[in-house]
Amino acid sequence: MDSIAIFKTALEYEKKIRDLYATAISIIDDDRGKVIFETLANEEQSHIDFLEHSIETL
């Protein structure tokens, strides 16, 4: 497996996890929980941005 394939696989997982957190935000009623999941989703998005940039530069 080459570097690009590894990064693309990681990108898929990051997107799935971000989407899971986004789903949690829409389901839960607790405001503090929403903030936590929003923070986690934003962190995953930063990972996605990093991976996409890395793929472009490889």
Q: Are 18 and 48 in contact (CB under 8 A)?
A: yes
Chain CA centroid to CA 11, Å? 8
Q: What is the tens place of the pLDDT at every residue in 2-56?
A: 999 999 999 999 999 999 999 999 999 999 999 999 999 999 999 999 999 999 9
For the entire predicted model, the pTM comes to 0.92
CA angle 16–25–39, rounded 5-degree value: 75
Q: Which residues contact 41 (CB under 8 A, 6 or more apart)?
A: 18, 21, 22, 25
Domain ranges across the chain: 3-57
